[in-house]
């Protein structure tokens, strides 16, 4: 098999970690596989480099920031190759440009345009283990670019897609994708399989294990992913398009406390007002999550939406200053809520899922402020103080045998 592996910064934080990762790689190679390993910068390297830059110039150009930051993966890739050499296996480390990562010129958050895999294939053809510095590429000017935070995940998936790898394996400090946060919910269990869409919903809900861009790319190119523990190395969670056995109703229960809900009360019921509101917010790059519209009184309506707390102030200001229809209206912002969600493709064909969720909340006497549903997700907004209790109750309802 051709296996692309990805190791994050904490997996290669110090010499001992690097040696452990080298062992994982050479064990896989000894089993007869071709192995390409994409690696992030060690531990806090990237943050340290950014701090150094800020001390010299807090407004440094993104081009020079990319040249600086890409040194982090350069160092970790070389060190990992050295650890593999110490185990007496043939290995070569390649930088983003050497591994053929061509990107656009959006320094700091470049998109991969294509990967010329000839060098990687050539080295694999010589039976070498190939280490690739993640997070980086070059643009048409031969200048170094970086893919933005979490970009090494994208590097790994893109390389796996270009090489038609059999598997793209992400080594993490967790056993796989869990049905809930195990620190909060004692019955949390590991999922053996999950679809790309479920993975995306879980990621946006706060159970961030893989970068979303990477999951979207894996879905587009049908790259089979595996989330696996660096420590136990036991079978983890496979992420793929269609799951063979569909007996589980939901995949997981998550909470997100970074929620501001903004209410516009008694809005006149004129056409186009919703468009005006949300296009203005979009023009300020404010990401909106849930939107609810309710019939109000006397030909008016209420609009409520949620966003991350950091955007709340800018959103309030935008609404007040740039939309004349809202000038005299009551606009409220509330930071006391939390969003709890259940995710699972199985819900589509099981209309009872929402009822089960609400029942669990009712039994715990948790008040629901808002409800939003999609085909594979049900989210409720509730008091942040109730969030942990709610997650446990819902999890117990869907996975009763574990409690």
What is the SS3 assignment for 348?
helix
Please give the Cα distance from 14 to 336 (Å, whole number): 40
Please give the Cα distance from 216 to 375 (Å, whole number): 17
Query: Which residue, 55 or 375, is less far from a copy of itself as judged by CB?
Result: 55
Neighbours of 186 (CB within 10 A): 12
Stretch that binds a copy of itself, among 82-90, 175-183, 316-324, 384-392 (CB under 8 A): 82-90
Q: Work out whether 125 is an interface residue with a copy of itself (CB under 8 A).
A: no
Residues paired with 167 in a beta bridge? 3
Range 8-47, binding a copy of itself (CB under 8 A): 15, 18-19
Q: Work out whether 291 is an interface residue with a copy of itself (CB under 8 A).
A: no
DSSP E strands in 70-207: the ranges are 91-94, 101-103, 112-115, 129-133, 136-138, 144-146, 167-172, 193-195
Range 305-324, binding a copy of itself (CB under 8 A): none
Q: Work out whether 62 is an interface residue with a copy of itself (CB under 8 A).
A: no
Q: Which of 5, 35, 95, 185 binds a copy of itself (CB under 8 A)?
A: 95
Q: Which of 10, 33, 74, 257 binds a copy of itself (CB under 8 A)?
A: 74
The two tokens of residue 282 are 């979009």
182 conformational bin, left if phi > 0, alpha if psi -120 to 50, beta if neither: alpha
Q: Which of 3, 112, 144, 382 binds a copy of itself (CB under 8 A)?
A: 144
Please give the Cα distance from 333 to 305 (Å, whole number): 10
DSSP state of 13: S
Q: How far is CA 164 from CA 72, 130, 145, 197, 218, in A?
A: 27, 15, 24, 21, 11
Q: How far is CA 126 from CA 116, 119, 244, 317, in A?
A: 18, 11, 37, 60
Query: Which residue, 119 or 190, is less far from a copy of itself as judged by CB?
Result: 119
User: Shortest approach of a copy of itself to residue 94 CB, angstroms?
Assistant: 9
Please give the Cα distance from 2 to 343 (Å, whole number): 32
Stretch that binds a copy of itself, among 28-36, 59-67, 344-352, 375-383 (CB under 8 A): 59-67
Nearest to 77 by CA among 194, 168, 156, 187: 156
Q: Which of 53, 249, 314, 371 binds a copy of itself (CB under 8 A)?
A: 53
Please give the Cα distance from 339 to 180 (Å, whole number): 14
Q: Work out whether 105 is an interface residue with a copy of itself (CB under 8 A).
A: no
User: Shortest approach of a copy of itself to residue 91 CB, angstroms?
Assistant: 8
Stretch that binds a copy of itself, among 51-59, 151-159, 163-171, 207-215 (CB under 8 A): 51-59
Stretch that binds a copy of itself, among 75-83, 159-167, 273-281, 335-343 (CB under 8 A): 75-83
Q: Which of 10, 33, 44, 85 binds a copy of itself (CB under 8 A)?
A: 85
Residues in the chain: 403
Q: Work out whether 82 is an interface residue with a copy of itself (CB under 8 A).
A: yes
Stretch that binds a copy of itself, among 87-95, 202-210, 336-344, 375-383 (CB under 8 A): 87-95
- Could you tell me where the DSSP H helices lie in 127-272? 151-162, 196-204, 212-220
Query: Which residue, 119 or 280, is less far from a copy of itself as judged by CB?
Result: 119
Q: How many residues in the shown chain lie near a copy of itself by CB under 8 A?
A: 37
Please give the Cα distance from 248 to 189 (Å, whole number): 12
Distance of CA 211 to the CA centre of its chain: 3
Stretch that binds a copy of itself, among 65-73, 185-193, 243-251, 350-358 (CB under 8 A): 65-73
User: Shortest approach of a copy of itself to residue 56 CB, angstroms?
Assistant: 5
Q: Which of 11, 70, 136, 195 binds a copy of itself (CB under 8 A)?
A: 70
Please give the Cα distance from 135 to 214 (Å, whole number): 12
Q: Which of 5, 37, 38, 77 binds a copy of itself (CB under 8 A)?
A: 77
Q: Work out whether 143 is an interface residue with a copy of itself (CB under 8 A).
A: yes
What is the SS3 assignment for 257?
coil
* Contact residues for a copy of itself, defined by CB under 8 A: 15, 18-19, 49, 52-53, 55-57, 59-61, 63-65, 67-68, 70-71, 74-75, 77-79, 81-83, 85-86, 92-93, 95, 98, 119, 142-144
């Amino acid at each position: 098999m051709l296996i692309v592996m990805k190791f994050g910064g904490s997996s290669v934080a110090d010499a001992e970690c690097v040696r452990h990762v080298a062992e994982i790689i050479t064990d896989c190679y000894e089993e007869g596989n071709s192995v390409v390993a994409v690696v992030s910068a060690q531990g806090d390297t990237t943050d340290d480099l950014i701090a150094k830059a800020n001390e010299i110039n807090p407004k440094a150009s993104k081009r020079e920031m990319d040249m600086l930051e890409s040194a982090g993966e350069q160092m970790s890739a070389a060190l990992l190759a050295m650890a593999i050499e110490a185990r007496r296996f043939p290995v070569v480390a390649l930088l983003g440009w050497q591994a053929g990562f061509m990107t656009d010129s959006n320094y700091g958050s470049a998109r991969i345009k294509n990967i010329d895999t000839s060098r990687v294939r050539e080295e694999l053809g010589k039976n070498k283990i190939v280490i690739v510095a993640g997070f980086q590429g070059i643009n048409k000017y031969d200048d170094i670019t970086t893919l933005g935070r979490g970009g090494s995940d994208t590097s790994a998936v893109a390389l796996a897609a270009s090489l038609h790898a059999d598997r793209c394996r992400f080594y993490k400090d967790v056993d796989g994708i869990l049905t809930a946060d195990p620190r909060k919910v004692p019955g949390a269990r590991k999922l053996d399989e999950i679809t790309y869409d479920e993975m995306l919903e879980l990621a946006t809900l706060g159970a961030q294990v893989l970068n979303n861009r990477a999951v979207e790319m894996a879905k587009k190119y049908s790259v089979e992913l595996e989330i696996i523990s660096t420590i136990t190395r036991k079978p983890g969670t496979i992420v793929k398009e269609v799951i063979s056995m569909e007996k589980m109703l939901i995949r997981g229960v998550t909470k997100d406390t970074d929620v501001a809900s903004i209410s516009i009360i008694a809005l006149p019921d004129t056409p186009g007002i919703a468009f005006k509101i949300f296009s203005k917010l979009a023009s300020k790059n404010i990401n909106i999550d849930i939107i609810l519209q309710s019939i109000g009184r006397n030909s008016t309506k209420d609009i409520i939406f949620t966003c991350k707390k950091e955007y709340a102030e800018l959103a309030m200001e935008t609404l007040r200053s740039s939309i004349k229809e809202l000038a005299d209206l009551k606009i409220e912002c509330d930071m006391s809520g939390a969003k709890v969600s259940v995710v699972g493709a199985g819900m589509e064909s099981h209309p009872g899922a929402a009822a089960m969720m609400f029942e669990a909340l009712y039994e715990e006497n948790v008040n629901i402020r808002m409800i939003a549903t999609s085909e594979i997700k049900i989210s409720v907004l509730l008091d942040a103080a109730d969030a942990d209790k709610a997650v446990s109750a819902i999890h117990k309802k869907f996975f009763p045998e574990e409690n």
